[in-house]
Amino acid sequence: MKLTVVGCSGSFPSAESACSSYLVEADGFRLLLDMGNGALGELQRHCGLYDLDAVILSHLHPDHCIDMCAYFVARYYRHDGGRAEAIPVYGPEDTERRLVQAYDDVPDEKSMQEVFDFRTLTPGTFELGPFTIRTARVCHPVEAFGFRIEHGDRALVYSGDTGPCEALTDLARGADLFLCEAAFTHGKEDIPELHLNGRQAGEHAQAAGAAALVLTHIPPWTDPNLNQRDAEAVFDGPVTLARSGAVYEV
Ligand SMILES: [Zn+2]
Ligand SMILES: [Zn+2]
């Protein structure tokens, strides 16, 4: 699998990065995980507008999904006059209604279905293109999912947004790459059931026996180096910081 970080800024975009969005490719299939603020622009550095085969949204906070409204425009009003085909869009309950509401004046209430084939996520496992995808509910103020994406004997795990939880450790068990949020700073913010800090991300990676940890979703006001140091203190494997445009072979 090839993982490309399209955007990794937490909560709102930074001068260097769009919000959460990750491109996962294997066997010519292109899967996008999340499409937060600014991600659609960055995505075009890595593939064509119509090259995505599926989108999965971890949850419906704007920093993970709001550019789907812009993507609707690109697919619905193609410059050649046709519509782009409907690609599968997996998300929590109510994803379609929320995106329609955010867009505000779609031509009619079914318009998004012409270009997005909405499918509701539930905890479990499903096949998508060449991938086997396991989902689990994680710990966040809204319904939110983490994902384990397997291809052959390789596994990539993405936390989405979450506070500390067992479900995340289970999902990340033995992962080759664990892409984990670290929005908070250890010893600074302590809001329950919202986000992880660097130390907690490291603890989850260590408990799961993951091979490598990539910290992501770090907001512009948080010092990423502190979070990396805190994760390294408790995790035996390598810890890197996600940055826009970074590519990982998993
Ligand atoms: Zn977020
Ligand atoms: Zn969130």
pLDDT, one tens digit for every residue, the chain (250 residues): 999 999 999 999 999 999 999 999 999 999 999 999 999 999 999 999 999 999 999 999 999 999 999 999 999 999 888 999 999 999 999 999 999 999 998 888 899 999 999 999 999 999 999 999 999 999 999 999 999 999 999 999 999 999 999 999 999 999 999 999 999 999 999 899 999 999 999 999 999 999 999 999 999 999 999 999 999 999 999 999 999 999 999 9
CATH number of 2-249: 3.60.15.10
SS3 (DSSP) at 2: strand
- Cα–ligand 1 centroid distance for 11 (angstroms): 5
**Which of 204, 206, 124, 199 is CA-nearest to residue 165?**
204
- Cα–ligand 2 centroid distance for 148 (angstroms): 18
What 8-state DSSP symbol labels residue 244? T
Q: Point out the ligand nearest to the CA of residue 21.
A: 1
SS3 (DSSP) at 90: strand
- Cα–ligand 1 centroid distance for 191 (angstroms): 14
